[in-house]
Amino acid sequence: MPVECPRCHAVNPGASRYCSECGTRLSFSEEAPLSAAETLKSPSEELTIGSFFAGRYRIIEELGQGGMGRVYRAFDTKASEEVALKLIRFEIASDRRTIERFGNELKMAHKIVHRHVGRMYHLGEEKGTHYITMEYVPGEDLKSLIKRVKKLTTVKAISIAKQVSEGLEEAHRLGVVHRDLKSSNIMIDKEGNAQIMDFGIALSPETKGLTGAGAIIGTPEYMSPEQVEGKKVDRRSDIYSFGIILYEMVTGRVPFEGDTPLSVSMKHKSEKPRNPKEVNPQIPENLSRLILKCLEKDMEKRYQSARELLSCLTDIEEGIPAGELIIHKRRPLTPKDITLAFRLKRLVIPTLIFSAIIISGLALLLILPKKGSGPASAHKRSIAVLPFLDLSPKKENEYLCDGISENLISSLSAIQDLRVPARTSAFSFKGQEQDIREIGHKLNVETVLEGSVQISGERLRVTVQLINVADGFHLWSEKFDREQGDLFAIQDEIAEAVVRTLKVEYLGENGTHFIKHRPANAEACDLYLRGRFFWNKRDKESLEKAIEYFKKALERDPEYAPAYAGLADAYVVLGSNRFYPPGEAYPKAKAAALRALEIDENLPQARTSLAAVKSDYDWDFSGAEIEYKRALELNPNYATARHWYALLLSDLGKHEEAISEINFAQRLDPLSSRINANVGLILYNARRYDQALEELKKALEIDPCHVSTYEYLGLVYSQTGNYKEAIKSMERAIEFGGNPADIDIDLAYVYARSGNMMESRKILARIKESRKSSFVSPTSIAAIYGVLGEKDEAFDWLEKAYAERDPVLLELKSEPRFDRLRTDPRFLAFLKRVGLSE
């Protein structure tokens, strides 16, 4: 079974342990469980998480595997900093001349101290295993970024290119040539800065005899013609490779591809690259010319220095409108950088500091608000939390991945200054391959949070990244290797990191805060997440299975409030969808919601379910409004609360308020089939039939198979006299799996309105028969008799509805289907009994 890389999303053969594209580890091996803490004993062993290497490097995680060997993220206990630790493959290190070459080249690379070059530290040996340590740069390599976003914008490509040029200029000034420059050797750190990595195999042109005559060092897709021929290379070879990278950034592909490394290498020697502007017409002509000049076969025709190249890139950038330019936060200098690069500048530093203080003071005076001026309006940030990827081979942890994503949505949506699309919309991309920018456009968000989950024994690994939609760059990323019991702590840490990165406040005007519910029993958490997984499916069988899991969770932890809220949610849906009779579903929902609120009064889900019970079953409409408003104070972005509250307002005849609330819910959950359908339903209740048709047709564009949308379309068509389309819509609802009893009610109503009384009565008889085996709304049957002109029968059925506490009775005041009964004095009296009229 193919395995998708969680980092670059490349598809690998099922037996792969590492990604063929970026080297990311695809699965945990039996030889290296997460919980191991032992020292490497032989060169053939893998280092394990928590183990120590060479007496000083504590292994944090494996970063990948390349041609030279494995690379780990480690903590250097002597230097008190994180490093990248590269173990050199035994067959490479066994050649004494190779190790000698590495040692000499590392001495050269060690001289480079520049913010856009990753530092090379040390070449060492431990029990026969040779290794190199270098600066650890958290972030994403450029190749993975390009694979994910397809191609970069011109502005972003130039921004990265300038940074790489600056790093190359410094390396070349010191006489160091990279010789293996490629997009996977360029890291983009958390601030968006580019850093060139792996100068460990760089070659000084003055150094003789370190590389054998005719030896080829490099990666075929990025090699210069002179490298292919095994000739002497200099800084212009790096410029050729740089041209390949720039080509790749703006087109999404390298200029030369082939079935074998040899065929690719030969193309560098003899084939002219295709003009990048032909591949991507949006790039400027002068940038296209710059790339092609870098890719000249003749070294003399290329740019002769990185400085010259940087100057040309700057000229191109100056022609870009100022509003489109990117200003990166500079990577701060480390103590090592300062020690190595600024020893001779001690006299300059005090002057710079003094100048900075003066400038900062002036700037502060300029930006401080004037006396009497009002506060600046806050910009509301936005983020979509996508369903986390389950990396287990059999996908047995899907419920856990969904639960993590859903809990993060719940926590983040409680922040008033952050807009978070609801679960339905975010999860609509589950299992799909879509560009981050396309997802961002559909959900109308600035950022996207995605991640993956992997379990080995009792250990849990969660990888997560926050991505800027505009350019596809990582704003923040992290890996968590913890015990499974730390799941909720991980979720809280992720939410807090998002808040810090997006610079939004923890507390809104109403004191909203993160929702942190950590069960005393880890098994209760697991069972709860399984219950939520089934609850989200919303069919009768899944809801009953969800209830089983919620009850099991409460057996493990009787004080776990979210599990009671889950029970309340499940029983409310069973009642509102008429899977259970009202008298069976709603009392259980109420009891569970009240118990949840006894334990934690700040659960918006429990407040929302309690509101639904109060409106649908207790007919306590003022009490229901209080609960909905309290839920929205706790979580202003809780789409379900907005959605259900909108339906209540519509039933109460408060049409403008209802439309406002459902539109708010739609913005929070733009891809929700049910919410989009109910936008049309609420407009239908307000007698805005043209608008209702328009919105329902839009809803079908989002989900052309949604049953309720067809049902509501049929009702709207019937009110406008288009009975043919009404019947066709009802038939489509059945075709897409609608409940035949529900559709029969709608069809009987439509046939009666159209004057086909015989067909209506025929269907009505079938409906009444079905009541013997399942709950069918007596209120809806009353609407049919009203259109048939049999008012006494209609009110008899309304009496049955009252006795059965039918939740459809709430529709009496607003639903057009009851218009034929409104002139009867009994109708107004009935509205008063239900509480829908004073």
Give the tens place of pLDDT for each residue, 80-92: 788 988 888 776 7
| Structure confidence at residue 251 (pLDDT) | 94
Provide the domain count of the chain.
Answer: 4
Q: Residue 359 above 90 pLDDT?
A: no
Q: Which of 37-51, 158-172, 622-636 has the lowest mean pLDDT?
A: 37-51
**What pLDDT is stored for residue 728 in this prediction?**
94
Q: Is the pLDDT of residue 77 over 80?
A: yes
Tell me the mean pLDDT in the region 74-101. 79
> pLDDT grade, residue 727 (50/70/90)?
very high
In a domain, 367, yes or no: no
**480 and 568 fall within a common domain:** no
pLDDT digits (tens, 9 = 90+) for 612-633: 999 999 999 999 999 999 999 9
Query: Are 54 and 131 in the same domain?
Result: yes
Enumerate the H helices of 22-150 as residue ranges: 90-93, 96-109, 142-149
Between CA 114 and CA 333 the distance in angstroms is 9
One domain, residues 525 and 512: no
**503 and 611 housed in the same domain:** no
Q: Which of 664, 712, 665, 705 is nearest to 685 (CA)?
A: 712
Q: Tell me which H or E stretch contains 480.
A: strand 474-483
Give the pair of three-digit tokens for residue 279. 């591949």
* pLDDT 10s digits, 743-766: 899 999 999 999 999 999 999 999
CA distance linking residue 323 with residue 314, whole number of Å: 16
**H helix and E strand count, the chain:** 33, 17
pTM of the model: 0.57
Mean pLDDT of 519-542: 83
Task: Report the interhelical angle of 436-443 vs 142-149 (nearest 10°).
Answer: 50
At 321 the pLDDT is: 62
Task: Considering only residues 511 and 317, tell me which one the structure prediction assigns the higher pLDDT.
Answer: 317
**DSSP for residue 483:** E
Lowest model confidence (mean pLDDT) among 54-58, 87-91, 779-783, 801-805: 87-91
Mean pLDDT of the region 182-211: 66
- Distance between CA atoms of residues 701 and 704, nearest Å: 6
How large is the average pLDDT for residues 213-230?
A: 73
Give dist(CA 252, CA 280) in Å, integer.
9
Higher pLDDT, 174 or 800: 800
Q: Does position 355 have pLDDT exceeding 60, yes or no?
A: no
Boundary residue ending a domain (460, 482, 516): 516
Highest-confidence segment of 198-212, 473-487, 555-569: 555-569
Question: Residue 215 pLDDT > 60, yes or no?
Answer: no
Flag whether pLDDT at 335 surpasses 70: no
Say yes or no: 530 and 610 in one domain: yes
The answer, yes or no, to whether residue 113 has pLDDT greater than 60, is yes
- Residues 511 and 559 both lie in one domain: no
Quick one: pLDDT at residue 685?
95
- Report d(CA 340, CA 349) in Å as an integer: 15
Higher-confidence residue: 648 or 9?
A: 648
Least confident of 104-113, 153-162, 241-250, 784-793: 104-113
What single-letter amino acid sits at 60? I
Q: Which residue has the higher pLDDT, 1 or 189?
A: 189
DSSP state of 638: -
Indicate the residue type of 695. E
Q: What is the pLDDT of residue 100?
A: 76
Cα–Cα dist 250/283, whole Å:
7
Where does the pLDDT of residue 213 fall: very low under 50, low under 70, confident under 90, or very high at 90 and above? very low
Q: What is the DSSP letter of 484?
A: G
Q: In the prediction, which pLDDT does 201 show?
A: 56
Residue 461, SS3 per DSSP: strand
Q: Is residue 296 included in any domain, yes or no?
A: yes
Structure tokens at 150: 């397809």
Query: Which CATH number belongs to the domain containing residue 56 in this structure?
Result: 3.30.200.20
Higher pLDDT, 11 or 425: 425
Q: Which of 103, 120, 135 delimits the end of a domain? A: 135
Amino acid symbol at 411: S
Binning pLDDT at 50, 70 and 90, where does residue 41 land? very low
102-111, 234-243, 326-335, 760-769: lowest mean pLDDT where?
A: 326-335
**Higher-scoring residue by pLDDT: 640, 93:** 640
Query: Looking at the structure, do residues 163 and 308 belong to the same domain, yes or no?
Result: yes
Q: Is the pLDDT of residue 339 over 60?
A: no
Q: Answer yes or no: is 401 within a domain.
A: yes
Q: Are 177 and 202 in contact (CB under 8 A)?
A: yes
Domain membership flag for residue 572? yes
Decide which of 458 and 61 is more confident.
61
Residues 104 and 208 in one domain: no
Which tokens is 33 given? 């469980």
Q: Is residue 541 part of a domain?
A: yes
Which residue range forms the structural domain that includes residue 554?
520-635
| pLDDT score of 440 more than 90 | no
Examine the domain organization and report whether 531 and 559 are in the same domain.
Answer: yes
Residue 666 predicted with pLDDT over 90: yes
Same domain, 167 and 315: yes
Look at residue 10 in the predicted model and tell me its pLDDT: 57
Residue 430 scores a pLDDT above 70: yes
Residue 422 has pLDDT above 90, yes or no: no
Q: Looking at this protein, which amino acid is placed at residue 466?
A: L
Concatenated DSSP letters of 264-310: HHHHHHHPPPPPHHHH-TTS-HHHHHHHHHHT-SSGGGS-S-HHHHH
What's the pLDDT at 454?
85
Residue 504 has pLDDT above 80, yes or no: no
Whether the predicted pLDDT of 710 surpasses 80: yes
Asked if residue 203 and residue 170 are part of one domain, the reply reads: yes
Q: What share of the chain is helix, strand, coil (3-state, %, to 5)?
A: 55, 10, 35
With 90 as the cut, is the pLDDT of residue 288 above it? yes
> Comparing 32-36, 214-218, 363-367, 546-550, which segment has the lowest mean pLDDT?
32-36
End position of a domain, from candidates 481, 516, 551: 516
Query: What is the rounded CA–CA span in Å between residue 503 and residue 500?
Result: 5
> Which of 13-22, 103-112, 194-203, 763-772 comes out lowest in average pLDDT?
13-22
pLDDT at 135 (0 to 100): 87
Structure tokens at 559: 């004080």
Which tokens in the block code for residue 837? 């009229």
Residue with structure tokens 């600066």?
135
Give the CATH number for residue 279: 1.10.510.10
- More confident position, 518 or 794: 794
- CA 101 to chain CA centroid, Å, is 45
Q: Is the pLDDT of residue 107 over 50?
A: yes
Does any domain span residue 696? no
The more confident residue out of 540 and 217 is: 540
Residue 518 pLDDT class (50, 70, 90 cuts): low
Question: Which CB contacts under 8 angstroms, 24+ apart, belong to 782-785?
Answer: 782/818, 782/821, 783/745, 783/749, 783/815, 783/817, 783/818, 783/821, 784/745, 784/748, 784/749, 784/752, 784/760
What pLDDT shows up at residue 9? Answer: 52
792 has a pLDDT exceeding 70:
yes
Asked if residue 587 and residue 504 are part of one domain, the reply reads no
Task: Output the pLDDT for position 78.
Answer: 83
Average pLDDT over residues 375-387: 67
Identify the three-state secondary structure at position 21.
coil
Left, alpha or beta for 87 (phi > 0: left; psi -120 to 50: alpha)? beta
In angstroms, the Cα distances linking 604 to 497, 510, 636, 662, 694 are 23, 14, 10, 18, 32
Q: What is the mean pLDDT of the chain?
A: 81
Element (H, E) at 87: strand 81-87
DSSP string covering 183-213:
GGGEEE-TTS-EEE--GGG-B-TT--SSS-T
Of the chain, the percentage scoring pLDDT greater than 90 comes to: 41
Sheet strands side by side (includes 140-141)? 140-141, 186-188, 194-196
- Give helix 154-173 / helix 235-251 axis angle, nearest 10°: 170
Mean pLDDT of 258-285: 89
Beta bridge partners of 18: 25
pLDDT at 20 over 60: no
Write the CATH number for 549.
Answer: 1.25.40.10
Dihedral of CA 139/192/155/468: which sign? positive
CA angle 810, 814, 816 (to 5 degrees): 115
Q: Do the domain assignments include residue 355?
A: no
**pLDDT(586) > 90:** yes
755 domain residue, yes or no: no
